[in-house]
Chain A
Amino acid sequence: MDHRLYIPASSNTPEVDFDFAARRLSLRGESYPESAVGFYHEILLRTKAFLATLENDSVRLVIELRYFNSSSTKMLFNLVDELNVAAEAGNQVALDWYHDAEDDTMLEFGQELAEDFPEIDFRTLAIESP
Chain B
Amino acid sequence: MKSPDLFDAEIRVLESARQAMESRDVEAHRAALDGLIREFDRVIRDMRRLINHADRTERELNRANRRLTELTRSLAYRNRHDGLTGLLNRETLIDEAEALLAVQGIALILLDIDHFKQVNDRYGHPVGDRILKDVAGAMRIQAPENGLCGRLGGEEFAVILPGQIGGKALGCAGCIADAIRAVRREGHPGLRVTASFGIAFAAAGTSFDRLYICADDALYRAKHSGRDRIEVVGDCITQS
Contact = CB atoms under 8 A, between A and B. Distances in A.
Size band of the interface chain A makes with B: 10 to 19
Interface in A66-91: 70-71, 73-75, 77-78, 81
Contacts of B60: 105
Contact of B46 (A36, A37, A77, A109): A77
A63 to B, nearest CB: 14
B168 interface: no
Contacts of B50: 70, 73-74, 77
Contacts, number: 43
A38 B4 CA distance: 7
A108 B9 CA distance: 26
Contact of A37 (B4, B42, B54, B56): B4
Dominant SS among interface residues on chain B = helix
A112 interface: yes
B62 to A, nearest CB: 12
B4 A112 contact: no
B59 to A, nearest CB: 8
12 contacts: A36-B6, A37-B4, A70-B50, A70-B54, A73-B49, A77-B49, A81-B42, A105-B56, A108-B52, A108-B53, A109-B49, A109-B52
Interface of B: 3-6, 8-9, 42, 45-46, 49-50, 52-54, 56-57, 60
